Amino acid sequence: MTPEPPLNVGLFATCLVDLFRPNVGFAAAKLLQAAGCKVYVPSQQTCCGQPAFNSGDLADSRALAEQVITVFEKFDYIVLPSGSCAGMMRRHYPELFADDPKWRERAQNFADRCYELTSFLTDICHYTAPKARYPHKVTYHDSCSGMRELGVKTQPRQLLQQVDGLQLSELRDTEACCGFGGTFCLKYPEISARIVNDKIEDIHSTEADTVLAGDLGCLMNIAGRLRRLNSPVKAYHVAEVLADLTADTPAIGQSSQEV
């Protein structure tokens, strides 16, 4: 069902997608357009401010939040192919301005219109029939922020069910963190490596040949470890599969020869 008139959606690609994985940005735009939205990608976007926020730097978190709000508030909705960045905007922007009469309402109004991509497609656009083919056994890693801050759990699965040839084999522990944690993985690399090892053990036990997730941070962590272990398992962002943009695109951290 296409909403009338089309919703104006500001796509916040996230800093990681922008720099490392443009394909996810294009996949998100394609899905949003297929769901009947008009997609805008403001070039003033940088980062949602999470690194500052989780480092206790409130002044810079607020400055970045103000920048994002100013650029994006004119759209009906703000959509992000990331649970953690969407969680930052939806849950934490209002918190940042809780004591600021000038920004409080503005931040809350903005936050209420920010969505993670798969939940926006299903919950707001009621778009549940992507046209895509991916004849593989896949498993799905739920990013912690998306799952716990935004309740993203069934939405990506609902969409994946419609992908031609795709078979979903769930992880034993679908609630486990992958060990990325933003700056955590750089500050405590050995602990992070141990946690991602557990994740990969779980991925291998599903016998899937592909792991999907909705957050590029988790995916770069998981893919980086998979590649180091020379695992045959590929890693894609869920949007790439849903938008059918995998055929000519190497998996994360892989070369065109390895497609």
Partner 1 sequence: MQIHSHEFKERAVTALHNSDLQRALAKAKGGFVDKRRAVIDILPEFQALRNRAREIKEHTLANLDFYLEQFEQQVQQQGGQVHWAENPQQARDIILKLCREANARSVTKGKSMISEEIALNEALEADGIEVVETDLGEYIIQLAKEPPSHIIAPAVHKTREQISDLFHEHHQKYGLTQRLTEVPDLVNEARQILREKYLQADVGITGANFLIAETGSTVIVTNEGNGDLTNCLPKVHIVTASLEKVVPTLEDASTILRLLGRSATGQEMTSYTTFTTGNKRDGDVSGPEQFHVVLVDNGRSKMLGNQFHDMLRCIRCGACMNHCPVYGSIGGHAYGWVYPGPMGSVLTPLMIGLDVAGDLPNACTMNGRCESVCPMSIPLSHLLRQHRIQQFERQLPDLRTRLGLRVWSFVAQRPRLYRFATGMAGRVLRLLGGRRGRVRSLPLTGSWTASRDFPTPQGESFIQQWQRSNPS
**How far apart (Å, rounded) are the C-alpha atoms in residues 141 and 220?**
12
Provide, rounded to whole angstroms, the least separation between the CB of residue 134 and partner 1: 19
Number of residues that bind partner 1 (CB under 8 A): 74
Residue located via tokens 């994002």: 68
144 is a site residue for partner 1 (CB under 8 A)? yes
Comparing CA positions, the residue from 179, 178, 202, 203 lying closest to residue 189 is 179
Specify whether the CB–CB gap between 179 and 199 falls below 8 A.
yes
Residue among 104, 136, 148, 157 that touches partner 1 (CB under 8 A): 148
Binding map of partner 1 across residues 157-176, x = CB under 8 A, - = no contact: ----------------x-xx
Report d(CA 209, CA 11) in Å as an integer.
Answer: 30
- Considering only 10, 25, 83, 156, the residue that binds partner 1 (CB under 8 A) is 25
Helix or strand run (H / E) with residue 238: helix 238-242
29 touches partner 1 (CB under 8 A) = yes
Task: Using alpha carbons only, give the angle 135, 167, 153 rounded to the nearest 5 degrees.
Answer: 125
Q: How far is the CB of 219 from partner 1 (least distance, A)?
A: 8
- Binding of partner 1 at residue 153 (CB under 8 A)? no
Interface with partner 1 in residues 54-113 (CB under 8 A)? 54-58, 60, 63-64, 67
